[in-house]
Amino acid sequence: SVSFVGILETLISARIADGMTKSNTYPRREAFANALANLGTGLAGGVPCTAALARTALNIKSGATSRMSIVINALACMVMGSTLLPYFKNYPMAVVAAQVVLVSVNMVELDHVRHVWVMDKAGFGLTILVALVCCFRDPTAGIVVGIVVGLLRFADAVSSGHAEVILNSNHDHAASHLPIKLLDNVGEAHILPDELNKLRCMCFYGGKTFTEQDGDIEMQTKQQEQQDSPLPPQEEEVHDVVIYRIVGKLTYINAQRHLSRVRSFRSNKNIHSLILSLRYMHYVDLDGVDAIQDLIDTMEAPDSGDEHFVRVLIAAASPSCEALIIKAPWYDAKKKDNAIFHSYQDALASLEHRAYKVHSNSEDEE
């Protein structure tokens, strides 16, 4: 735990120095250097070493801009420790505390505090909590509290399951974005065909579109270019293809959220295909791969009362996830079924070609 806190404090000090000097630090190099330094102190019988937040800030504010400053600091500490240490024993601790408090207060930049308050109030609250723990307990406890709460916030954000849903019609290539919150609100309930049609009319003919950004749905109003001549009434088109695009991670934490959303389309008799786009999924674990298997089994199993099922097509697996995905049994099965595509546009083109062949065969029979 001491080594972990030491490396973490070193990286935080580097981050503070980067913000003050507008420079770039390599975290791996800093961690490796800290490990080598701790090896040296251990062999010499010393205590673990780490970067110091206050001394780093004071060093920069004093005008130090090169690496030589830390060499001078080390030499000065060596001289004082070997020759002047008896005199520093009588140095009043109240004076030391006052100096540390002054340096620490000068580390706080009000502009950055205002920026955190405006952009992320939950993060601002976490900052205040860590500061209070550091003041009334100790800095190590404050760092641990910040790590734990930050990890919990990250897990909550990942569990929301970022995704994008596009409703598509093979007949006219029309597509509209379905707000994710609509699926989250219905949960395991079913989205009826007339609800999808109303949504499409609202998206295209009502002058409004829906987009998703960081899990929140924003409604953006489009200005109609021809206000004097209103659009003629359009015939409602039935959506028969759903494109579900997973964004970010697919893990045990958020797999069930994605499954519950996709299942909401299961009993819609108009929908015959679901394209699962994995282009923007940059990480998947074994639980995520198994969740895709559950999704395929759920969508492609016929209903008890009829033969309706939804065919699942896989599109655009990202290179970072492809190495694990291609090992899954469902991937081989889909590949044999010609249901693996480089992009969701290719999958749509395949569905259009298949629908055209079915239509041509029916006309020939007539």
- Express each pLDDT in 115-148 by its tens digit: 999 999 999 999 999 989 988 888 778 888 988 9
Residue 340 Cα distances to 27, 148, 296, angstroms: 39, 40, 13
> Residue 354 has what pLDDT?
67
- pLDDT, residue 228, reads 41
Per-residue burial over 147-176, b if 16 or more Cβ lie within 10 Å, else e, is eeeeeeeeeeebebbbbbbbbbbbeeeebb
Percent pLDDT > 90 in the chain is: 17
Which residues touch 329 (CB under 8 Å, ≥6 apart)? 293
| Token pair recorded at residue 337 | 């079924």
SS3 helix, strand, coil % of the chain, rounded to 5?
A: 55, 15, 30
Task: Please name every residue paired with 243 in a beta bridge, in sequence order, or none if there are none.
Answer: 166, 275
**Confidence class of residue 313 from pLDDT cuts 50, 70 and 90?**
very high
Contacts with 106 (C-beta within 8 Å, 6 or more apart), sequence order: 57, 58, 61
C-alpha torsion 140→142→146→148, nearest 10: 70
- Beta-strand pair 311-315/340-341: parallel
> 6, 47 in Cβ contact below 8 A?
no
Of residues 189 and 106, more confidence is placed in 106
- How does DSSP assign 5-39, residue by residue? HHHHHHHHHHHHHHHHHT----HHHHHHHHHHHHH
Does an H or E element contain 283, and which?
strand 281-284
pLDDT of 170 = 52
Instruction: Compute φ and ψ for 362, nearest 5 degrees.
Output: -65, -35
pLDDT for 305? 62
The backbone torsions φ and ψ at residue 163, rounded to the nearest 5 degrees and listed phi first, read -160, 170
CA distance 329 to 311: 17
Give me the pLDDT at residue 181, please: 54
Cα 282 from chain centre: 9
pLDDT above 50 (res 219): no
Closest CA to 322 of 338, 304, 340: 340
Dist CA 328 CA 319 (whole Å): 15
Task: Read off the pTM.
Answer: 0.61
The predicted pLDDT at position 213 comes to: 36
Which token pair is 249?
């991670």
Helices (H), 22-177: 27-43, 53-61, 68-79, 85-88, 93-107, 110-119, 121-136, 139-159
Stretch 28-37: mean pLDDT: 86
Q: pLDDT at position 22, please? A: 78
3-state secondary structure (DSSP) of residue 113? helix
Give the pLDDT confidence score for residue 325 in this predicted structure: 93
Q: Is the pLDDT score of 172 beyond 80?
A: no
Strand order in the sheet with 340-341: 175-178, 163-168, 241-246, 273-277, 311-315, 340-341
Residue 235, pLDDT > 70, answer: no
> In 10 A of CB 331, how many CB atoms?
20
320-339 pLDDT, tens digit per residue, is 899 999 999 999 999 999 99
Percent of the chain whose predicted confidence (pLDDT) is above 70 = 75
On the question of pLDDT at 296 being above 90, the answer is: yes
